[in-house]
Homo-oligomer: A and B are copies of this chain.
Amino acid sequence: MTIRGAPAIGIAAAFGLSLEAAAWKGHDLQAFRSHLVKVADEIQATRPTAVNMAWAMEHLKAIINEEFAGVDELRQRLIARVDEMAEEDVAINHRMAEFGASLVHDGDIIIHHCNTGSLATVDWGTALGAIRLAHEQGKKVHVLVDETRPRLQGSRLTAWELEQYGIPYDIITDNAAGYFLSTHKAQKVMFGADRIARNGDVANKVGSYMLALAAKDNNIPVYSVAPSSSIDLHIACGKQIPIEERDPQEVLGIEIDGKRVSPKSATALNPAFDITPFRLITAFVTEKGIVKPPFSKNLSITLKKPFKGVIL
């Protein structure tokens, strides 16, 4: 959890493999390949829910298995590709932000879940990148920052990022989102995605499902902003996405006035993600465009589109 945010995890994993390639001392190409694949698999096993890391590792494993004259050539190719991936990520982020910002209207109050800004990604971010670009385009926006229990990425990170960008916001408890949606004091819900199944079911930070339900119940649009690498066509629907359970101390460790709140002997359950069914999502925002329903058709089409962003 030193690195968090699905896109940041993906690129950090890639850099991890790049470092491993740089450190390798041997001269046997096959041994080098086997070692890299083993390390890639080890990295991939550390976080089950988000697909970005799996995507990056699979992508690099395919490169590892290309033809090379020797260890040095593979090493150079791998390191160069990872550097390029980071550059691409910035371009992908910016393009997503452009598509996302086009959905934001002047005067919008937006409920945002978790942290999806530059602390979670490479540079711009996903949902927060869209909000930031809308703000830079001169649109008046106000963000209701879900605090996002248990790790409070909203009040801890998103609030801090919004202050850096000069975007006005208020923190709210996750519980309060329903109040603001049912009284139509918010016009949009935006969050990221850790993995998008073929049918559009989306795994994201726990609480996204109830937030999307409350938005849908009040005819307020829900946008999931994520790079197309978050779309996993191998997964038919959300039920097949593994949900990471994290340390109960994240729930139990909460303090007010320096004092722990729960009884000493209390136990807790801590699923870190949940599945928002496709029927609650108004559109996905990717670097390849805005994807509307029917998702089971349109997500596949989007994945095949070329990326038209400019690598800055």
Contacts and interface: CB of A to CB of B under 8 A. Distances in A.
A217 interface: yes
A252 B170 CA distance: 10
A24 interface: no
Interface residues of A, number: 55
Contacts of A160: 263
A93 B156 CA distance: 41
Interface in A146-189: 147-150, 152, 155-156, 159-160, 163, 169-180, 182
Q: Which of A171, A172, A174, A210 has the most CB of B within 10 A?
A: A210
Contact of A177 (B144, B182, B210, B256): B210
A258 interface: yes
A253 interface: yes
A19 to B, nearest CB: 30
A182 B144 CA distance: 26
A179 B243 contact: yes
Number of copies: 2
Contact of A149 (B147, B169, B262): B147
Of residues A149, A206, A268, which shows the largest number of chain B Cβ atoms within 10 Å of its Cβ? Answer: A268
Given A147-B251, A258-B258, A265-B163, A175 B213 contact: no
A148 B175 contact: yes
Contacts of A182: 209, 274-275
A257 interface: yes
Contacts of A63: none
Interface in A92-122: none
A254 B155 CA distance: 10
Interface string A250-287: 01111111100111011111110111000000000000
Given A172-B268, A213-B214, A213-B217, A178 B207 contact: yes
A211 interface: yes
Given A171-B262, A175-B206, 13 more contacts: A148-B175, A152-B256, A155-B252, A163-B265, A170-B269, A173-B251, A178-B206, A178-B209, A178-B213, A182-B274, A210-B210, A254-B255, A258-B258
Q: Which 9 A-B pairs have the closest CB atoms?
A: A175-B207, A155-B262, A178-B209, A149-B173, A255-B255, A178-B210, A179-B274, A171-B268, A210-B210
Interface of A: 144, 147-150, 152, 155-156, 159-160, 163, 169-180, 182, 205-207, 209-211, 213-214, 217, 243, 251-258, 261-263, 265-271, 273-275
